[in-house]
Structure 1
Amino acid sequence: MKLTFRIQYRTVWGEDIRVILNDDTEHPIALSTRDGNNWIGTTNYEAPVACVQVTYRYGVFCNGVCVRKEFGAIPHSFDIGNAQQTHYIMDDCWRDLPAASYKYSSAFNEPHPCVKPNQLNNHVGNCITFRALCPELYNKKQELGIIGSCNALGNWEYCRPLRMYEVQPNVWHITLDASSLTFPFEYKFAAINAKTGAVEEWESGPNRTFHIQPLLRGETYLPMESEVFFNLPATKIAGTAIPVFSLRSEGSFGVGDFGDLLTFIEWAAQTHQKAVQILPINDTTMTGTWTDSYPYSSISIYAFHPMFTDLRQLPALKDKEAAARFEKERIRLNALPQVDYEEVNLHKRNYLKAIFKQEKEAILSSKDFQQFFADNKNWLLPYAAFCFLREKYGIPEFTTWPEYADYQKEEIEALCDPESESYEDIAYHYFVQYSLHVQLLKACDYGRSKGVIVKGDIPIGISRTSVEAWTEPYYFNMNGQAGAPPDAFSTKGQNWGLPTYNWEVMEKDNYQWWRLRFSKMAEYFTAYRIDHILGFFRIWEIPTHSVHGLLGQFSPALPMSPEEIRSFGLDFNKEFMTQPFINEYMLQTMFGDKVNYVKENFVVHRHHDIYAMRPEFDTQRKVEAFFAGKTDVDSLNLKEGLYALISNVLFVPDRKNPDMYHPRIAVQNDYIFNRLTWNEKEAFNRLYNHYYYQRHNEFWYSEAMKKLPILTQSTPMLVCGEDLGMVPDCVPWVMDQLQILSLEIQRMPKDPKCEFGHVYAYPLRSVCTIGTHDMSTLRGWWEEDATVTEHFYHSELGHWGDVPKQAPGWLCKEVIEHHLKSPSMLCILTWQDWTAMDEELRNPNVDSERINIPANPRHYWRWRMHITLERLMKQTEFNEEIIRMIDESGRY
């Protein structure tokens, strides 16, 4: 058969348009043009045996290399018809994403069975195939139809539309005999009743008009695909964010589990909420201490944390005495106001091992387990081996293991062989992950059945002592630490201690590591939050010798040469500007009566009143090591002061090219900046603003567009981005182009000229919330700064008079209502903020509701609900108030 492609696309000199057929990137079909705008090309095509549908995308090529191609999840397509249809003519327009791509996501439109396209009899050779994209029908028990002004299209009679065929999810085709149509004609797409075939809703907009030149025998013409919209209100829903570990039920074991998650989803559905958002649930077990409670440093991007196992869903323990002991511990731990991470994991691990010993033969031989193992073997086997070796050698730092420090697939497969003496210990981890898989899938499937989005969280990083760092070290830069630059919540920046990504290597296999990670999440979730989406543009990379984040630099970035620095009017002096500046005034001011101790032990006198750090203390890590274990106030103050000395520089050398430099972040607050003259300060600020707010926009845009289109379109999940912090101008460009939902928080406005965000002006494609797990609750924030609270009370809420010192229930309710009535597609509030409006129900201890303090890298993640889920379900008045507020806001 012959294929002809036609598209309008404006190119620049040296570019050409080609068609990538059935994802065959090696043999694209070249098109030609006379004006650089209208492209056409014809090729002979032999369809594979049993091929029904052909898919294709357009790409822009330069010097034979594809520099851009359509990236949407839905490619163009056409159906192979009868033997008489020998020439297909496609008119197309460039399309990346549909206009409302969120409607195609699994959050609002689950994948569902489709049908084969209609095929005309062999006597029909001249055909027209209409193609349409429409995601709004599946859950309404409707189908898409076409109706028009000629008899073959029903003469506008509402009971005579032609049914179209959903050939892939939300893609509708119909092929008509061209000779049966009267040209020109008008037509519309319509939603028709799946049983009666009658029109129930008409697409919005004016009638479509069809003009066509006469077709030659055997030609099938395919006009441009149409996106069909009906006059429906915007999709808006409400939901709750809560960590799984924070859930509390009468039967949980001192920590929330996947069984509790199902119950929480049930509560959400009963209160007309359509979303439940959780924090990362991956395994973080490294030391076995409370420091493992940090959920954003996982040891596996696939494995779940064993503590989330619902022991109630496992077989009963036959040892009655042991069962009684565990029950006693369960009751004790479940009564605690917060999670005792170490005790909970100790007892749950012992219980899981007892159940495994009792049930291993039955479980490991079951058909369901065998299928799970086969589907997940690629990650499950090295994960289980890693856990076994971590416990055997008592340390997660695999580089120090006496054996298996360097991952060799064959050696690990031999270690995990069923005949190996280590097999039972390794298989235990298979069993735990299988149980977690079954329980999470059950909870998420329940959410689907109730129309509740279960929204997962993808951390930006992994632990440097993780399975992936062990098995795939080439994907990571181990000589750097990921973090975040300073902000209002962490003035010294954040150092997460995680390795950064080697994006150059990841690009070579089309980001397979990420695509597999996203695909695994899509088995459970219908939406996800990309933690720190800025990391896909650039990451704040901190050298391994630093503790704070101030000496970091963006990676990738465009450093500055000394000549360029001078071009801004600043005379570059390497020794003064890149080495810690320390003088007598600083030492006296910072250390007071401890100044002589500092001089004698940590610094050395150079000349005049200038000092330098001693070589044994010239990095923050060296200082940290000296003060290890010292927790008295004087030692802590001395340590922080020495950290500040070391970071007192104007420029940081580039990590790849030490002869190039980056201006140090937030240096205007430090002593070295005050040593500059007025003219030098002006020059530095011009340079600083250019570097941080102008220089990288196009560069970082291109970096993000290499990765995010591939990743966000690799699954049908709804994509939400956490776009907080120091946000470059290019971030909204990319998020808008890829239709990624932004995060809107009133106390962190996107517009720097505003003290607070304007809830009524939020974009539709956004998630609005009062606060996140990294922030204080609404009630906690209300008491932090009386000046800010007063401004908010008077200017944002419009109230007069004295400001309440504590946030009363009526005020919290008012703030919630403002958010519910915002234009944001998703309004997801923390559970603490929902309960804040009920003064009898909410926790009387405001401070205890804080989940995380980002400024503290060793924060203990342990907050739990102060009431049980069972009691929550019985709060009739509170629950009915949530229902009323959600319904009145149009979010149900």
Structure 2
Amino acid sequence: MIDYRNFLSSFSRKQWERIGLQRRSGVVAPLFSLYSQYSAGIGELTDLIFLIDWCKACGMSIIQLLPMNDVGFDFRPYDAQSTFALEPMYLSLRGLKAVKMSAFKAKLDKLSEKFPAGGERVDYGIKQAKLELLWGVFGNHRDLTDSGGVKDFNRYLEENKFWLEDYALFKVIKEKNNQSAWEAWEDKLKYRDQKALELFEQDNSERISFHKWLQWQLYEQFRVIKKYAQGRQVFIMGDLPFLVSRDSADVWAKQDYFKLNLSSGAPPDMYFAHGQRWGMPVYNWPVIEKNDYDYLKEKLKYAQNFYDFFRIDHVVGIFRVWTIPLDEPQETGGLNGTFDPADESVWEEHGRKILTVMVENTTMLPCAEDLGVIPPCSNKVLYELGIPGIEVQRWSKDWGRTYNFKAPGDYRINSVATVSTHDSSSLCAWWQFEAGTIDEQLFKRKCKKWGVNFEELKNELFDLKQSTHNRLRWKESVQNPDVLLEKLKLPRDKAGEFINLYLESHGEKGKFLNYLKPQAKQKACLSEPARIAMEKACLSDLIRMAMEKASNTASIFSIQLLQDWISIDCLNECDLWEFRINFPGTVSPKNWSLVMPLSLEDMLALPMNTIIKNINSKAERI
């Protein structure tokens, strides 16, 4: 029996007392990926009722959503136009409060016909179509709203003045400027001249009220969902993006809270050779602190209307964030950046101070996404504060020594164990295309750095027939680092980076099979045709065993992507490489648009639900 009682003496003890110390299992599910027979073109808030029921049937008690914030028309959930406002396209048109939809039935039927639920990708044209229909509904809302609705709406306006006024104004100014970024607006509006804003409000009061009304409707629907989840003893985890879009109501309204001369990102790593540049501005923490962290407190206050947990996206950025000058050429990605704060000695106190404010000002239990290049102070502070981090199975290894996968009992107790993330491939795709490989661009950059001929080495070291999607797979003949050194023609003291890449990836499939089931290691030594046939036949078993391993870890929570759960028995003929939520560092219609291959109603009837429940039961997560 694992002892989690230390959480009750941590800084987050009140949150733990509310959640309890029970081991729990859950699912990560983007709402845009879900659909039911009632959905109009995209997953809607009321569809979460089906997901809650499915979780209950499978012995799960946590639903982790991706960010639910308004994304404008860019449809990137981690680059939202507001860290407060919810996304209007998730509204259920059949569940609007204090509105009679009978007069709009024909239009609603036509909308559902034009944007049918399902398909491989979301048709984001649904957003504009929904907004147009909702505008028509709003035009009649004074006749269709009872006195209780008016009272509730007015109360909502009063309670959310901190952000709602600026947000609604921002949305309408964008509409009047053909959705152009606020930095392209005329100076009086860009720099918030009070008289100019008042005049604009007078001229556009009805449209401004419409956006406030939308947020109220979203609030009311989401509150109903949370109440239903509570009745089913299922918790909801919200994902609060660490940053907000440069073109957002937050940045426009509080420009001094951001360093607008910098772009956020991440330094290079084994998966992103050029690092990452996200584009969102970084926070000006001294100014935010001077205002008693009002921006941070209000965000948490609003989010706890909907969530029991909240995911702290990119928590390492709270200690220090990678910044790239705005004028740095785009092609350099995140290579030429620096950390902010620059002084490493202040990182620990900087992060502790902000995280303490967050814990003090919410009833939600925080869970931290602590991936990437992690400063040593991060684990220390998270443990002190009782905040779970994240352990990703494929990256949880004995780094720098054996490179074996970490034993389940060695996972941090204050963590969420997961097999994949929304920014990674699914477990199936990782196994098929990435396990045992290295990033081609990263290897190429190392070759350039050390004056080695990349094209020549590429043919000598890697099995190019088995290398796909810019991942290079080692030849079987490269059996150890000595063979690698011979091909590199570099002395060992100058080949350290190459040796590390080799040790991190070579033989990874065999190590993973041995981790899942020691006697399975021999399968990695089969001939290539036999191995491929075995993998196809046994992929479902491999997924199931990987999920069992994640569930059996010491981590207090085990939360898996919906794609990985349903892959236990529902692989069908989907393209495994494309069956993912996001390809980081790319701009593509394939990002943030994945739709599940079956409806929520079909999910509720899956025979594999019994398998999932057994996994959770055996791991004592029910």
**Amino acid of the structure 2 residue aligned with 1:865:** M
Alignment counterpart, residue 490 of structure 1, candidates 253, 256, 272? 272
Secondary structure, aligned partner of 2:395? coil
Give the direction of change, closer, same or farther, for the CA distance of 1:413–1:881 in structure 2 (3 Å limit).
Answer: farther
Give the direction of change, closer, same or farther, for the CA distance of 1:504–1:358 in structure 2 (3 Å limit).
Answer: same
1:24-78 Cα offsets, whole Å, 9 max, x none, are xxxxxxxxxxxxxxxxxxxxxxxxxxxxxxxxxxxxxxxxxxxxxxxxxxxxxxx
**Amino acid of the structure 1 residue aligned with 2:274:** K
Alignment counterpart, residue 40 of structure 2, candidates 253, 263, 278? 253
1:760-807 Cα offsets, whole Å, 9 max, x none, are 311221100001000000101011146332331235532122444446
- The aligned counterpart of 1:377 is 161
1:515-544 Cα offsets, whole Å, 9 max, x none, are 111111111111011110011110000111
Distance 2:245 2:351 in 1: 23
Distance 2:594 2:39 in 1: 15
Distance 1:477 1:746 in 2: 35
Give the direction of change, closer, same or farther, for the CA distance of 1:502–1:103 in structure 2 (3 Å limit).
Answer: closer
Deviation for aligned residue 1:364: 9.0
Secondary structure, aligned partner of 2:281? strand
- The aligned counterpart of 2:489 is none
1:469-497 Cα offsets, whole Å, 9 max, x none, are 11111100000000111122211111110
Normalised by the size of structure 2, how large is the TM-score? 0.80
Alignment counterpart, residue 336 of structure 1, candidates 119, 133, 136? 119
Give the direction of change, closer, same or farther, for the CA distance of 1:296–1:453 in structure 2 (3 Å limit).
Answer: same
Distance 2:516 2:7 in 1: 37
Matches of residues 508-587 of structure 1 in structure 2 within 5 Å?
508-546=290-328, 547=330, 548-558=333-343
Conserved? CA contact 1:533–1:723, under 8 Å: yes
1:608-633 Cα offsets, whole Å, 9 max, x none, are xxxxxxxxxxxxxxxxxxxxxxxxxx
**Amino acid of the structure 2 residue aligned with 1:524:** F
Deviation for aligned residue 1:458: 1.1
1:148-171 Cα offsets, whole Å, 9 max, x none, are xxxxxxxxxxxxxxxxxxxxxxxx
Distance 1:474 1:499 in 2: 11
- The aligned counterpart of 1:710 is 357
**Amino acid of the structure 1 residue aligned with 2:357:** I
Conserved? CA contact 1:238–1:828, under 8 Å: yes
Alignment counterpart, residue 424 of structure 1, candidates 197, 206, 210? 206
Alignment counterpart, residue 176 of structure 2, candidates 392, 417, 421? 392
- The aligned counterpart of 2:477 is none
Matches of residues 764-843 of structure 1 in structure 2 within 5 Å?
764-785=413-434, 787=436, 788-798=508-518, 799=520, 800-801=522-523, 802=526, 803=531, 804-806=534-536, 808-839=539-570
Conserved? CA contact 1:529–1:722, under 8 Å: yes
- The aligned counterpart of 1:407 is 192
Conserved? CA contact 1:747–1:755, under 8 Å: no
Conserved? CA contact 2:12–2:385, under 8 Å: no
Matches of residues 113-152 of structure 1 in structure 2 within 5 Å?
none
Distance 2:393 2:237 in 1: 22
- The aligned counterpart of 1:759 is 408
1:262-311 Cα offsets, whole Å, 9 max, x none, are 221121123221100011111110xx3xxx11111111111011111111
**Amino acid of the structure 1 residue aligned with 2:585:** A
Alignment counterpart, residue 576 of structure 2, candidates 846, 865, 872? 846
1:407-465 Cα offsets, whole Å, 9 max, x none, are 2456545644xxx3411111111111111111111112211222211001111111111
Give the direction of change, closer, same or farther, for the CA distance of 1:320–1:887 in structure 2 (3 Å limit).
Answer: closer
Deviation for aligned residue 1:241: 0.4
Deviation for aligned residue 1:98: 4.3
**Amino acid of the structure 1 residue aligned with 2:392:** I
RMSD: 2.2
**Amino acid of the structure 2 residue aligned with 1:432:** L
Secondary structure, aligned partner of 1:848? coil
1:333-363 Cα offsets, whole Å, 9 max, x none, are x24221012x111211122112212324444
Distance 1:706 1:785 in 2: 39
Distance 2:286 2:10 in 1: 32
Secondary structure, aligned partner of 2:568? coil
**Amino acid of the structure 2 residue aligned with 1:771:** S
Conserved? CA contact 1:373–1:380, under 8 Å: yes
Distance 1:360 1:818 in 2: 56
Conserved? CA contact 1:489–1:855, under 8 Å: no
- The aligned counterpart of 1:109 is 18
Conserved? CA contact 1:463–1:498, under 8 Å: yes
- The aligned counterpart of 1:277 is 64
Conserved? CA contact 1:481–1:498, under 8 Å: yes
Secondary structure, aligned partner of 1:238? strand
Are positions 1:745 and 2:392 aligned together? yes
Unaligned runs of 5+ in 1: 1-95, 111-135, 137-233, 559-695
**Amino acid of the structure 2 residue aligned with 1:848:** E
Give the direction of change, closer, same or farther, for the CA distance of 1:401–1:317 in structure 2 (3 Å limit).
Answer: farther
Give the direction of change, closer, same or farther, for the CA distance of 1:740–1:335 in structure 2 (3 Å limit).
Answer: closer
Give the direction of change, closer, same or farther, for the CA distance of 1:364–1:471 in structure 2 (3 Å limit).
Answer: farther
**Amino acid of the structure 2 residue aligned with 1:376:** N
- The aligned counterpart of 2:94 is 312
1:239-258 Cα offsets, whole Å, 9 max, x none, are 00011111111121221111
**Amino acid of the structure 2 residue aligned with 1:422:** N
- The aligned counterpart of 2:481 is none
**Amino acid of the structure 1 residue aligned with 2:181:** E
1:793-823 Cα offsets, whole Å, 9 max, x none, are 2355321224444462111111111111111
Give the direction of change, closer, same or farther, for the CA distance of 1:307–1:734 in structure 2 (3 Å limit).
Answer: same
Secondary structure, aligned partner of 2:310? strand
Normalised by the size of structure 1, how large is the TM-score? 0.56
Give the direction of change, closer, same or farther, for the CA distance of 1:746–1:311 in structure 2 (3 Å limit).
Answer: same
Higher Cα radius of gyration:
1
The structure with the largest helix share of the pair is 2
Conserved? CA contact 2:321–2:341, under 8 Å: yes
- The aligned counterpart of 2:498 is none
Conserved? CA contact 2:118–2:599, under 8 Å: no
The structure with the largest strand share of the pair is 1
Distance 1:543 1:737 in 2: 34
Distance 2:347 2:108 in 1: 57
Distance 1:311 1:757 in 2: 47
- The aligned counterpart of 1:725 is 372
Give the direction of change, closer, same or farther, for the CA distance of 1:353–1:843 in structure 2 (3 Å limit).
Answer: farther
Give the direction of change, closer, same or farther, for the CA distance of 1:551–1:300 in structure 2 (3 Å limit).
Answer: same
Distance 2:146 2:173 in 1: 21
Percent of residue pairs bearing the same amino acid type: 30
Distance 2:594 2:17 in 1: 31
- The aligned counterpart of 2:447 is none
Alignment counterpart, residue 601 of structure 2, candidates 856, 870, 888? 870
Are positions 1:475 and 2:257 aligned together? yes
Give the direction of change, closer, same or farther, for the CA distance of 1:792–1:473 in structure 2 (3 Å limit).
Answer: same
Secondary structure, aligned partner of 2:596? coil
**Amino acid of the structure 1 residue aligned with 2:120:** P
Give the direction of change, closer, same or farther, for the CA distance of 1:363–1:842 in structure 2 (3 Å limit).
Answer: farther
- The aligned counterpart of 2:111 is 326
Give the direction of change, closer, same or farther, for the CA distance of 1:268–1:842 in structure 2 (3 Å limit).
Answer: farther
Secondary structure, aligned partner of 2:302? helix
Conserved? CA contact 2:88–2:214, under 8 Å: yes
Conserved? CA contact 2:39–2:47, under 8 Å: yes
1:604-659 Cα offsets, whole Å, 9 max, x none, are xxxxxxxxxxxxxxxxxxxxxxxxxxxxxxxxxxxxxxxxxxxxxxxxxxxxxxxx
Alignment counterpart, residue 879 of structure 1, candidates 597, 609, 614? 609
